[in-house]
Copies of this chain bind each other. A is one copy, B any other.
Amino acid sequence: MPDTANSTDQFVRRELQLERFLPYLVNNLADRISTGLSRIYADEYGLSIPEWRVIANLAEHGVLNAKRIVITTGMEKSKVSRAVKSLTDRSLIFQRRTENDNRARDLALTGTGEALYGELVPRALAWELQLLECLSTGEYRDLMHLLGKLREQAGRI
């Protein structure tokens, strides 16, 4: 319960400063980051954010169905559905029957998909590193910690 946020001492401030308003700051940062990173995966590889996320999840966790991707990423299921369709059409992932359930399908990267992922990862990490260059090791640790806490709290509200 920070008293320095938009509050003074123990009294909540009645004014709002956009430059100190967390939702604004986080949104703004997310925007800049998306725009920057999209120069890699969108411009050079023709991937949308949802597509990239589906690929990253499959690369990281192996075989998954769409529902699981929805749960772990928090994306809309329609978003995932479209991404899956598009990636399948481009043969970056493939689908196969799930045992005991004909509604769902198992998804996995194809060879091409894995190759693309293998190309993309170092570039994405390099970009992230460039961004993180402005932080010390300690600051980075703090950041991860804070983001984790906020994410959890935002999920609760």
A residues touching B (Cβ–Cβ < 8 Å)? 1-7, 12-18, 20-34, 36-37, 49, 53, 56-57, 59-60, 73-74, 121-122, 124-137, 139-144, 146-147, 149-155, 157
Contact = CB atoms under 8 A, between A and B. Distances in A.
Given A30-B29, A131-B22, A125 B37 contact: no
A73 to B, nearest CB: 8
A84 to B, nearest CB: 17
B56 A2 contact: no
Report whether over half of chain A's contact residues are helix, strand or loop; otherwise say mixed: helix
Q: How many copies does the complex hold?
A: 2
A74 B128 contact: no
A131 B121 CA distance: 32
Contact of A12 (B129, B131, B137, B142): B129
Nearest to A124: B16
B137 A2 contact: yes
A140 B31 contact: no
A25 B147 contact: yes
Given A6-B129, A132-B1, A154 B36 contact: yes
Interface centre among A7, A34, A131, A139 (most CB of B within 10 A): A131
A144 to B, nearest CB: 7
